[in-house]
Amino acid sequence: MVNKTSPKTFQVQSQVPSKVTNDPLGPSPSVSEKSVGGAQQAQADQTTTQQVRIGQGIAPTAQQALDNAGGLLKAQIGARAAKPRGRGRRTGALREPNAAQLLRSMKNPEALKDVLALQAPLQQALQN
């Protein structure tokens, strides 16, 4: 966060002029309306303006928004990966009968032919 009192913080803030110069809202009234006096005065005004505007949360540039979105995404992925799973029941996909397994599970497959032999009487019974 912005530390308004520390002079060191002022230095750091003045290194990000793009935040102000590329400001999509344009220059702030306090800067544009000021008459250009001494260089020192202008510098002081600029830093003050930056400080206030950054403190208020100026609209980010497109690049900043992109960077920030990337950062957010990374944070979200990290949070998701770290999130422990619930204690609910674990279920995978439905285990459907597999032809090869079914065949292997029969010691005497020929016995099932007795069921197929019912076809004719079933046709007769269900012809209605």
Partner 1 sequence: MSEKSQTRSLLEQATASDDPKEALRLAGEAVSQELLVAMKAAGITKAEKSVQALDAAGLNQLLALALAKGKLSYRAVDDVLVQLREALSNRTLTAEQIKDSILSFDAAAQRLAMVGGHGGGFEYPTKGNRARDSLMTFARSLHR
Identity of the residue, 8 or 107, whose beta carbon is nearer to partner 1 in the bound complex: 107
Q: Are residues 23 and 5 in contact, defined by beta-carbon separation less than 8 angstroms?
A: no
Q: How far is the CB of 117 from partner 1 (least distance, A)?
A: 8
Q: Which residues of 77-109 are buried (b: 16+ CB within 10 A; e: fewer)?
A: eeeeeeeeeeeeeeeeeeeeeeeeeeeeeeeee
Q: How far is the CB of 127 from partner 1 (least distance, A)?
A: 8
Residues at the interface with partner 1 (CB under 8 A): 89, 91, 93-97, 99, 102-103, 105-116, 118-119, 121-126, 128
Q: How far is the CB of 85 from partner 1 (least distance, A)?
A: 16
Q: Please tell me the distance from the alpha carbon of residue 48 to that of residue 59, in angstroms, as a whole number.
A: 18
Q: Please tell me the distance from the alpha carbon of residue 42 to that of residue 50, in angstroms, as a whole number.
A: 12
Identity of the residue, 8 or 89, whose beta carbon is nearer to partner 1 in the bound complex: 89
Identity of the residue, 8 or 90, whose beta carbon is nearer to partner 1 in the bound complex: 90
Q: Please tell me the distance from the alpha carbon of residue 54 to that of residue 1, in angstroms, as a whole number.
A: 9
Q: How far is the CB of 87 from partner 1 (least distance, A)?
A: 15
